[in-house]
Structure formats: C-alpha cells, structure tokens
Amino acid sequence: MPRVPLLAGTRLSIVNAPEDAVVLRPPPPPEPVDDVAAATRDALRFPLAGQPLEALATRGGRATIVVEPPALPLPGADADPRQEAIASAVEELVRAGVPLERQTILVACGLSRRPGHRDLEHLVSPEFARRFRGMVEVHDAEAPDLVAVGELRGTPVRVNRSLVETELVVVVSAAETVLHGGPAALLGACGSATLRTAGADSLLETSSSSGWHAAVWLEHELARHVALIGISLALNLPVLAGALRGYPHDPEALERIARSPLRRAFGLLPGAARARVLRSLPLELHASAAFAGPPAVAHAEALIRITEARSASFDGPLDAICIGIPRTTPHLPRERPNPLLAAYLGLGLALRLWRDDFPVVEGGTAILAHRFHRHFAHPTQQPYRAFFQGLRGTGTPEELGRAEEAAAADERAIAAYRAGRTCHPRLPFADWAACTPALGRLGAVLIAGCRDALSAKQLGFIPTHGVGAALAMAEGRAGGPPRIGFVGSPPYFPLRASGR
C-alpha cells in the first residue's frame, strides 16, 4: 500500500493510498548549467531567431530590461538563476554601448502587489544592486501616464511608458507557463483592463490561452516602434537539499519523509513554528538552459524544454486527484492564504499544468487538502474580502462581474494598491477566473480537513472532515473504487495523461 506524504497547510499527513493509486512525481531534473551568466551571454550573442543584442542596441541609447517578480516556481529559492541572467544582460548592454545610467529595470508585476524596496532586493544579487546605477521602475497598472499602443478585442491596450520611450526592450524571465515569462512579461506592464483579459485553459498550451495570444499581439505592436529581444531560462524544479535531498522526484525521499521519527515531533509544534520550519528547509533552484530571440520564440522553446523535463506521465485519465495545498500564497509576498488563494493553488495552478488533455475524467473529483480558514492577511489581502462579499448572493458570473466593477472603482482600494500596500482589487476575480477551466471539467471539489464550511460552500465546494472522508466520498461518486492520483505538495509539475 503506497504511503504518500501530503502537506495540508503546515500539517504533514501520511496517507495510506489505495494499491492502484497513482503517486504523481516528476522525473529527475536534467543537468544544470554551470554558469548561468555565460549561458545568458552566449544566448544573447547567438539567438534562436532575429538579430543579436549587440546589433539591436543603439550606442549611447536607452534600454529597458523587463523582469517579473519570482512568484514561480513555488517554492522559490534565495539563489535564483534569474539574478545572474539579469546581471549578465545588463553587462551585455554595457558592452553594446548602452551605459548603466541609460538602462531601466522595469518590474512587470501585473495585478499583484507592487513590490517595495525590500522585495526588490530579491530580484538581483546584493553585489549587482550595489553597482547598478540605472533606474528601477515598478509597474503601476493604474498610472495615468500609461501609453496607448492599440486595441485588442475591443479593449484599449495601454502600457508602461518605459516600453515605448526607449530604443531597446530586453525581456529577462524564466519559462514557467504561457502566462508567466516571455511576452507575458510585457503583458504584465499593461493597464488593469488588459491584464484582466489574460486567461488560459492550460498553462502549458498556447492554443487555448487568450493571455498568450494577447501577449504575442503586444510583442508585435511594440516591435513596430522599438527593438525587442528576450532571454528565457529553462529552470529545473526546486529540490530540497540536505537530509531530504531528492524530493520531489525520488521515491526514496518520499519514503524517508514517511518513516522519519521527526515527523510526529513536527506535528506537535504550533502552526507558526511549523511554518518557520518549512520556510527554513534548504532549497536549490538551477537552470538547465537559456534561450534568446524574439520573446515569444525564446519563451516557447524554453517552455517546451521544461515541459518535457518536468512532466509526470501516466495512463489516464484519473477518476480523482488529491492535491496538497501548502500554507503559502501563489503571489508575492508569501503569506498565509485565504480560501480563494488556497483554491487557486490547486485549481488555478496545479490543475492547469497539463499538456495534451485534462488529467481527470469529465465529471471527476478534485480533493484539496487544506483547512480553509477564513483568514485575510491585512492589508495585503484586503481585496479578497470584497470578492467574498460578492458571493453573498447567487454568485452568478453576472453578479461577480458587477462586484468586480464595483471593486475596481473603489478609490481607496486603488490608492492602497498604488501605494504598494495591497494587490489590485481585480486580482481576486482574476484568481477565481483561473479556477473556472478546471471547475468546468470537474464534477466536485472536496476540501479535506475543512474548518470553514461556509467559505467552501460559497465557492461551490464540499467540506469534508479529512482526507479519508474525502477519498470515501470520491469512491461513492465514482460508483466503485476510483483511480486516484496524488500530488503531495509543491513544487507542482506538468501532468500528461495518455490513453483517453
């Protein structure tokens, strides 16, 4: 009988899975790049398509380097390869004749909370931060000076001025999904109305992603006015170091966790102490490749690379899937999630990382292991209260649409966003929209270990006392022993079901 370590919030449970259960785990990571800075430099000099950076740069001209907050992969690591890639891109610009004083780092944070000075320190290495003499600008989706560049599907597209008042735009990102990195980083520097239209059924397929098509359209529009090049890193999944080395790809690491005598002692700690222990676990994050070229081209190549390297393939589809939800948020800063953010981690992230076909049968069951406390970190999660207030009625799309427009018109909420105290008031509605592709295919979502039944029911979910009760309910819904897949905790990875 397989034993599966399942992380629910800060609680680690060992689930005795059925004999025919599918314990989902990624393959071992490929060999990492020894020198990310050198790989970035070589990629910019020999891009996949288009001209190299040196030919695109104007000597004495201006350049804008577009970066994203490192929200993915989850969990992150202090030593992030993107830091080396940014520094290398800046050095290549200097070599091409663009002095540091003429360079601007634009942080494209989309609808997420605008990072403050302390958060920005994690984007680059301390050594780089000390010597960089250019400008650093954090995108404001409500800034009055956004520049109109066209109209997409009836929505005017307005972008940060740094993207058009320059001679060259360099996008430095990692390929995580079709909505994170590459041309999507350009989209992250748009107005809130444009950002709200970016969606995807699968985070790994461009064909079904309105966000990808919008990002590519924006790239082409910007390319009419400025030179563009992108560098995309293919990152391996973060892995635990030390005594837990090998997690999540090594089955022996899973067994070591299940057998560890420290597990029971860990369970006796208070929740805050458990959270500190989990945050202190040593993590390693490496890049396996770097690609350059037009942002969409480089990103697509890197995305194919990481999808192949990270995917867990299995004979599918599954009747049910059980997903461990940690005590963290998908956005920065990392903090305790409210019920909507916990749902987003399972439905909007883990269950959108599929390729070729959805991993669960039509009308199947998803089990989210989380306590679902109605807790809203103040002030960073204040807009999520407005979302739950919008669910007090029938919760129809029309009703939620009116609630979103009311939230977006709230001057106090917009002022708090612009001051960096909280996220944009549209973000909770975007997070819920990210859950709808999975909800449209599933028959039920069970919250295992739920402590706030009202929150679960408001979202249309079914609260259960624990994983055992949820598995029994999934068996009842399937009309017999279901074929269940288990994803114990992040890092979440691509799921590829075959044989539908």
Q: What is the pLDDT of residues 341-356, one digit of tens each?
A: 999 999 999 999 999 9
Residue 431: is its pLDDT beyond 70? yes
| Mean pLDDT in residue range 282-297 | 96
The mean of the pLDDT values for the chain is 93
C-beta neighbour count of 115 within 10 angstroms: 18
State residue 113's pLDDT score. Answer: 97
pLDDT at 1 over 70: no
Q: Is the pLDDT of residue 392 over 80?
A: no
How much is the pLDDT for 180? 97
Q: Which residue is associated with the tokens 């612009």?
A: 418
**pLDDT tens profile 218-255:** 999 999 999 999 999 999 999 888 767 888 888 887 77
Q: From CA 231, how far away is CA 454, in angstroms rounded?
A: 45
Q: Tell me how far apart the alpha carbons of residues 433 and 196 are, in angstroms, rounded to a whole number.
A: 9
Query: Quick one: pLDDT at residue 242?
Result: 73
Q: Mean pLDDT across the stretch 130-155?
A: 94
Q: Determine the topology of domain 3-26+311-498 in CATH.
A: 2-enoyl-CoA Hydratase; Chain A, domain 1 (3.90.226)
With a cut of 90, say whether residue 159 has pLDDT above it: yes
Bridge partners of 231, per DSSP, are 172, 292
Q: Could you tell me what percent of the chain has a pLDDT over 90?
A: 75
Cis peptide bond prior to 282, omega within 30° of 0: no
Q: Which amino acid is at 194?
A: T
pLDDT tens per residue, range 195-217: 998 999 999 999 989 999 999 99
CA distance 312 to 439: 22
Closest CA to 178 of 295, 27, 19, 51: 295
Q: What is the CATH number of domain 36-235?
A: 3.40.50.11440
Q: What is the mean pLDDT of residues 401-416?
A: 94
pLDDT of res. 252? 81
2-54 pLDDT, tens per residue? 778 888 888 888 888 888 889 899 999 999 999 999 999 999 999 999 999 99
- Find, among 289, 370, 287, the residue nearest to 77 by Cα: 287
Mean pLDDT of 164-177: 97
Residue 500: is its pLDDT beyond 70? no
Q: Specify the pLDDT at position 398.
A: 85
Instruction: Indicate whether 395 pLDDT > 80.
Output: no
Spatial distance between the Cα atoms of 11 and 13, rounded to a whole number of angstroms: 6
Q: What angle do CA 304, 235, 315 make, to 5 degrees?
A: 50
263 pLDDT above the threshold of 80: no
Residue ranges of the domains in the chain? 3-26+311-498, 36-235
Rounded to an integer, what distance in angstroms lies between the CA atom of residue 426 and that of residue 405?
8
Give the per-residue pLDDT at 254. Answer: 75
Q: What is the dihedral of CA 227, 306, 277, 380, to 10 degrees?
A: 40
**Mean pLDDT, to the nearest integer, of 326-332?**
94
pLDDT in tens, 291-327: 999 999 999 999 999 999 999 999 989 999 999 999 9
Q: Three-class SS string for the chain?
A: CCEEEEEEECEEEEEECCCCCEECCCCCCCCCCCCHHHHHHHHHHCCCCCCCHHHHCCCCCCEEEEECCCCCCCCCCCCCHHHHHHHHHHHHHHHCCCCHHHEEEEECCCCCCCCCHHHHCCCCCHHHHHHCCCEEEECCCCCCCCEEEEEECCEEEEECHHHCCCCEEEEEEECCECCECCHHHHHCCECHHHHHCCCCCCCCCCCCCHHHHHHHHHHHHHHCCCEEEEEEEEECCCEECHHHCCCCCCHHHHHHHHHCCHHHHHHHCCHHHHHHHHHHCCEECCEEEEEEECHHHHHHHHHHHHHHHHCEEEECCEEEEEEECECCCCCCCCCCCCHHHHHHHHHHHHHHCECCCCCEEEEEEEEEECCCCCCCCCCCCHHHHHHHHHCCCCCCHHHHHHHHHHHHCCHHHHHHHHCCCCCCCCHHHHHHHHHHHHHCCEEEEEEECCCCHHHHHHCCCEEECCHHHHHHHHHHHHCCCCCEEEECCCCCCCEEEECC
Percent above pLDDT 70 for the chain: 99
Give which of 35, 37, 34, 168 is closest to 91, Cα–Cα: 37
Q: Please give the pLDDT value at position 423.
A: 97
Distance, in Å, from the CA atom of 467 to the CA atom of 320, rounded to the nearest integer, reads: 13
369-378 tens-digit pLDDT: 999 988 899 8
Question: Has residue 133 got a pLDDT over 90?
Answer: yes
Six-digit token string for 167: 């001679």
Which residues touch 398 (CB under 8 Å, ≥6 apart)?
Answer: none
Both tokens of 143, joined, read 């800034």
Name the pTM for this structure: 0.95
